[in-house]
Structure 1
Amino acid sequence: MHTRLPRTLLPGVALVAAGLLVLGGCGDDPSPASGDTSPTRGTDRPDRPGKGDDRPSVAPTSEGGGAATTVPVYFVGDTERAGPRLYREFQRVDGDPLVAAAGLLTAGDSLDPDYRTLFPGGAFAAVSYDAGRLVATLADDGWTTRAPGMSRSEARVAVQSLVYTLQGVQQERAPLVVEDAGGSPTTLFGVDTSGGVAAAPPLDVLSHVSLTSPEEGASVDGGTLEVSGVGNSFEANLGWEVRRGDEVVLDGYATLEGWMEEKLFPFEASVDVSGLEPGDYTFWVTTDDPAGGTEGVGAMTDDRSFTVG
């Protein structure tokens, strides 16, 4: 997932630029990923999440007449220099969206095999929103201290994965409080939650690039691969490649809506794949790293597999 990191991004080929999602500097983005401190609900289509936000959406399921909710879940992925970071993935769930999203997170049930969870096996006894707080109730005291082999930094990332996930589902930057079975505030992996845990600054805990589409394992029947996601990169530059195995068959660049702020900005692009033979491919995207890995957090990447029919 983290190879072939370019020092400087150069204009590439085979990219048809798509219009960027105009969000007024992501001011309409209610997600913690945006860095906006006054979340509001957007007006995107109700059957799918917005390109740059975490807003849950409700749509009919394919079976019965029930409803499913699309929720954001922040899983953990590895980076070249910055250690574990959070990557956002949208999934469809049934039932209470807070409970379902927390269940996906703690189980590590990601669609992308590059993502994982830092939670040991198990689940919360309950997850709810109460009086302006997000409340997660422990089933026992097994998660109050760090798991064997878990570092302090990993514990922080694990807690933040829960904070970002539940805030994204609830659409409110409410503090997280973890309670024991008796209803008293307690620690989560040694992190005190009694005063409420807020979301850490996005660029401190999130990957600096995270794909929204294509979904993992998507099929492309036409000649265009639609790409979207969020990121923050030097001079708003992102580089991308389409790979077949180890071979780069297409490459190019995309431009974020911005970069000089403490938040992630949306991007969209349409990649012409009409000349590719049918088969399995990987779309790979990277932030720019003008220091060439010699300082700072370095380049961060994300990728998704897809099939050309």
Structure 2
Amino acid sequence: MSVRTRFAVLLSAAICLGALAACGSDRTAEDPTPASGSTQGRAESPELSEPSESAAETVAVPVYFVGDTPQGPRLFREFRQVPADDPASGALALMTSGDALDPDYRTLYPGGSFASVQVDADPMVVELPDESWTTAPDGMSQDDARLAAQQLVYTLQGVAQARSAVAIQLDGAPADLFGLGGELADEPELDVRALVNVTSPEEGATVSGTFTASGVSSSFEATTPWEVRAEDGTVAAKGFATAEGWMDKLYPWETEVDVSDLAPGTYTFAAMTDDPSGGEGHGPTEDTKTITVG
């Protein structure tokens, strides 16, 4: 076993302890909200600051979906434009329908939507559409039910810019969501979120020259490798970003990606966690976005 591998194995125990120690702390300020339809010129506003309005009619908010990782299903985030007069309802409609831009993302909700939502209260309040949502539907495991609840909590906390709990009601009375209880709190992000998440470029973005890629990660020694892959899977460009930290939570990363030498066409931008174990562990977590080089 190499020195790098032995260090990674020993470090995994420290990571677990660090994650437990972080359970009671606030999540770090994360990557800024991207400008709609652009991979550059993002406003410098972290996740827990006020959402930035891109137009009078809409506002950008974080919406959480589910994707597959080596650790199992985890939460991935997209910043989406929703009606400014009721951003919480707009965000939940996207979340429950699974209307993600990235085809790798999905929802754990069975269809339909919440009857109402109130985010200017502590705890925040959501009203179930009917009694069927009080128990887990057929085929939903307990782990999936828990992650579905975290989809809801993380999305509403991002919209409200507050770490409030979420109270579940049915016809105005306390109720359970999928049998999990009537008041839900956020779980530590390293337990429920993907260890790397690309914010920019967005899925389907058109880029040229040099563009700024950004996101969040918790990766070995804060190193977040990235690749630009051609349609046949070959690596056309690669490099790495250095995040602002690692181990205890997700931290922002940002890097410049030069595609000026690439032929116009469709590519995949991939960011991943570093894997010092050489494949002996879970392997790297990855988030990919389809891009067009103009």
Separation (CA, whole Å) in 1 of partners of 2:137 and 2:53: 36
Tell me how large the CA RMSD over aligned residues is.
Answer: 2.7
C-alpha distance after superposition, 1:41-100 (max 9, x if no partner):
99989986647525421122xxxxx42110100100001x21100001000111301111
- The unaligned stretches of length 5 or more in structure 1 are 1-6, 9-32, 61-65
| 2:259 aligns with one of 267, 270, 273 | 273
- Pairing 1:1-309 to 2, within 5 Å after superposition: 37=26, 50=44, 52-55=46-49, 56-60=51-55, 66-79=56-69, 81-94=70-83, 95-181=85-171, 183-193=172-182, 196-220=183-207, 222-245=208-231, 246-261=233-248, 263-295=249-281, 297-309=282-294
User: Which letter maps to 2:125?
Assistant: V
Report % sequence identity: 51
1:176 CA drift (Å): 0.8
> What is the TM-score of this pair, normalised by structure 1?
0.80
In structure 1, how many angstroms separate the alpha carbons of the residues matched to 2:134 and 2:205?
39
SS of the residue corresponding to residue 59 of structure 1 reads coil
In 2, Cα distance between the equivalents of 1:158 and 1:43? 25
- Alpha-carbon distance between aligned partners in 1 of 2:98 and 2:286, rounded to the nearest angstrom: 20
**Which SS does the other structure have where 2:102 is aligned?**
coil
User: Hey, which bits of structure 1, 4+ residues long, moved more than 3 A?
Assistant: 33-36, 38-52, 292-295
Within 1, Cα distance between the matches of 2:33 and 2:242? 22
- 1:248-295 C-alpha deviation (Å, 9 max, x unpaired): 11111111111132x110010011100000001110111012234434
Give the equivalent residue in structure 2 for 1:24. Answer: none
Distance in 2, Cα, partners of 1:116 & 1:45? 21
For residues 217 and 32 of structure 2, the distance between their equivalents in structure 1, rounded to whole angstroms, comes to: 22
Q: Normalising by structure 2, report the TM-score.
A: 0.83
Distance 2:181 2:195 in 1: 27
Choose between structure 1 and 2: higher helix proportion: 2
Structure 2: runs of 5 or more not aligned: 6-21, 37-41
Opposite residue 294 of structure 1, the aligned amino acid is E
Return the alpha-carbon distance in structure 2 between the equivalents of residues 185 and 87 of structure 1. Answer: 29
Per-residue CA distance 1:121-161 (angstroms, 9 max, x = gap): 10000011253111110110111111111111111000001
> Residue 102 of structure 1: SS of its match in structure 2?
helix
Give, in whole Å, the separation in 2 of the partners of 1:168 and 1:114. 21
1:280 & 1:185 partners in 2: Cα distance? Answer: 50
* Aligned CA distance change for structure 1 residues 212 and 36 (closer, same or farther; 3 Å): farther
